[in-house]
Amino acid sequence: MPRFTADNTILAHEIITRYPRPKSALIPLLHLAQEQDGYVADDAMEHIAELIGVTAAEVLGTCSFYEMFKLAPVGEYLVNVCTNISCLLVGGEELLHHIETRLGIKSGHTTEDGKFTVEDVECIAACTEAPCLQVNYRYFSRVTPEAADALIDDLLHDRRLDEIPKHGVLARTRQQIPAATRAGNAVPGEAEEPVWIRRARAEVSP
């Protein structure tokens, strides 16, 4: 049952240390769990709860609020089609229907082979490039039905892996804060007036 692997546990600890309070790492850790397993498993939530010192119910409470976290496995490719206003005006709904028909599923569902999940989503901040969609959160702009078909053909054969990692992997570049140059967390109750502020104040009224 999917708790964090040894490597991911190390990474989880590292993420937690970036925040003044461990609970702030909750959402990043849920992303890490989803990256590992493709969805957020119950055991992963328990593991996160142990790591940041809250109850598993609190983890679920936060997790269930956010659209991106899936509590059950979804397709390898999550196809999110925007049908909000700017896209609606130039064919977003038609694009969604085309993709639903092509894949034989309604939005919110996954194909039987576990390859695709389709979602009808809200604005994805690509409004001037409408109609648009995302596959695993990678953008495709001004998508015609033909372009959608070609994209699906590619995905069926995993031909775009360098561009679109399988579902779960959010960002392939991680922030690294080197210990040597780290300024350190500003913890409530512990931090004093920053030195540069104190110095500047002293310069004005010595």
Partner 1 sequence: MTVSDAPPIVSTRFALDNGHTLTGYLATGGYEGLRAALAISPTAVGEEVKAASLLGRGGAGFPAGTKWGFCPPGVWPRYLVVNGDESEPGTYKDRLLMEKDPHQLIEGVLIASYAIGAAQAFLYVRGEMALAQERIAQALNDAYAAGYIGKNILGTDFSLDVVLHWGAGAYIVGEETALIESLEGNRGMPRLKPPFFPAAKGLYLQPTVVNNVETLANLPWIMTNGGARFAELGAETSRGMRLFAVSGHVVKPGVYEVEFGVTTFRDLIFDPAYGGGLGDGRSLKAFIPGGASAPWFYDEHLDLPLEAGAVGAAGSMLGSGAIVVMDNTTDVVKACWRVVRFFARESCGKCTPCREGTSWLEKVLRRILDGEGRPDDIALLLDVCDNISPGIAWPPKQTTICPLGPSAVSPIASALVRFRDEFVALCGGTGESPVAITGKAYLPKPNEVAGV
Applying CB under 6 A, the residues found at the interface with ligand FES are: 82, 84-87, 123-127, 130, 132
Instruction: Please state the closest distance from residue 81 (CB atom) to partner 1, in A.
Output: 13
User: Judged by CB, which is closer to partner 1: 113, or 181?
Assistant: 181
Q: Which does 89 bind (CB under 5 to 8 A by kind): ligand FES, partner 1, none?
A: partner 1
CA distance 201 to 206: 8
Write down how long the chain is: 206
The structure tokens listed for 72 are 């059950």
Instruction: Please state the closest distance from residue 62 (CB atom) to ligand FES, in A.
Output: 26
Instruction: Please state the closest distance from residue 7 (CB atom) to partner 1, in A.
Output: 18
Q: With contact defined as beta carbons under 8 Å apart, do 52 and 82 qualify?
A: no
Instruction: Please state the closest distance from residue 58 (CB atom) to partner 1, in A.
Output: 8
Q: Which does 171 bind (CB under 5 to 8 A by kind): ligand FES, partner 1, none?
A: partner 1
CB atoms closer than 10 angstroms to residue 203: 8
Q: Which does 205 bind (CB under 5 to 8 A by kind): ligand FES, partner 1, none?
A: none
Q: Which does 107 bind (CB under 5 to 8 A by kind): ligand FES, partner 1, none?
A: none
Those residues whose C-beta lies under 8 Å from the C-beta of residue 42, and which sit 6 or more positions away, are 1, 56
Q: Which does 104 bind (CB under 5 to 8 A by kind): partner 1, ligand FES, none?
A: none
User: Judged by CB, which is closer to partner 1: 84, or 111?
Assistant: 84
User: Judged by CB, which is closer to ligand FES: 42, or 93?
Assistant: 93
The structure tokens listed for 146 are 């033909």
CB atoms closer than 10 angstroms to residue 179: 6
The structure tokens listed for 140 are 């495709």
User: Judged by CB, which is closer to partner 1: 39, or 137?
Assistant: 137
Instruction: Please state the closest distance from residue 45 (CB atom) to partner 1, in A.
Output: 13
- Phi, psi dihedrals of residue 133, rounded to the nearest 5°: -150, 170
Terminal-to-terminal C-alpha distance of the chain: 63
User: Judged by CB, which is closer to ligand FES: 126, or 148?
Assistant: 126
Those residues whose C-beta lies under 8 Å from the C-beta of residue 172, and which sit 6 or more positions away, are 165
